[in-house]
Amino acid sequence: MPEASVYAGYGFMMLVITTEFWLRDLRTKLSAHFELRQFLCKQPGGFPKYVVLQEALPLKLESVVEALDRAGHDVDTLEIMSGYRTPFYNEGLGNVHDSQHTAGTAADIFVDDKIDGRMDDLDRDGLVTRDDAIWLFKLVDRMDHMPAPLFPGGLGDYGATGAHGPFVHVDVRGRLARWRG
């Protein structure tokens, strides 16, 4: 069973899960649409693995799934390209030292309800491009700009590379931050 700590900050209480887990734990449900395995660091190596995850992150991602459903995209979950990262793994990627991923507050996501490993055509133009990441970015941005947003945070959209398709970075840092990747 994961260890949990409660911290006050950013205007709301946060449950932070820090745990050692094993292969048998990967399918543990964290919420209606998300499992522990989705937030796992991609760092090579065997088990046990470790994860840091702030409760606000899967809750915010649940609200993204609900917003997608309201927008006519019936999805079962979001594909999480990158959730928690160990500081070592994060540094190896060349990412910033104070990445939200190392605090368990960030996920790089895309919608893949077809389960083909790439972003779905969210803007329904017949193509999968960065415009689909921008569509998802705008959806989350509207949520963060509602009166009294639940989990305000950082948001960035990224285009495809040779290694991956377009995606959106979502985090729950407690204040708005926006960028283009």
Rounded distance between C-alpha atoms, residue 33 and residue 29, angstroms: 8
Q: By three-state DSSP, how is residue 175 classified?
A: coil
Does 49 reside within a domain? no
pLDDT digits (tens, 9 = 90+) for 97-120: 789 999 999 999 999 988 888 999
Alpha helices in 28-176 (DSSP H): 56-70, 87-92, 130-144
Q: CA–CA separation, 11 vs 7, rounded Å?
A: 11
**Residue 2 pLDDT > 90, yes or no?**
no
Please state, for a pLDDT cut of 90, what percent of the chain lies above it: 57
What CATH number does the domain containing 125 carry?
A: 3.30.1380
Q: Kindly state whether residue 108 falls inside one of the protein's structural domains.
A: yes
39 assigned to some structural domain:
no
Cis peptide bond N-terminal to 48, omega within 30: yes
Please tell me the chain's helix, strand, coil percentages from 3-state DSSP, rounded to the nearest 5.
25, 25, 50
Would you say how long the chain is, in residues? 181
**Helix H or strand E segment including 158:** strand 154-158
Share of the chain above pLDDT 70, in %: 86
Predicted confidence (pLDDT) at residue 29 exceeds the cutoff of 50: yes
Q: Is residue 6 part of a domain?
A: no
Q: How far apart are the first and last CA of the chain?
A: 37
- 47 falls within a domain: no
25: in domain: no
Range of the domain at 72: 55-180
Q: Is the pLDDT of residue 42 over 80?
A: yes
Average pLDDT over residues 8-30: 57
As for how many domains the chain has, the answer is 1
- Note whether residue 9 is domain-resident: no
Backbone Cα Rg of the chain = 16
Q: What is the pLDDT of residues 129-171, one digit of tens each?
A: 999 999 999 999 999 999 988 899 999 999 999 889 999 999 9
The DSSP letter of residue 23 is: G
Task: Tell me what pLDDT residue 30 has.
Answer: 85
Residue 80 lies in a domain: yes
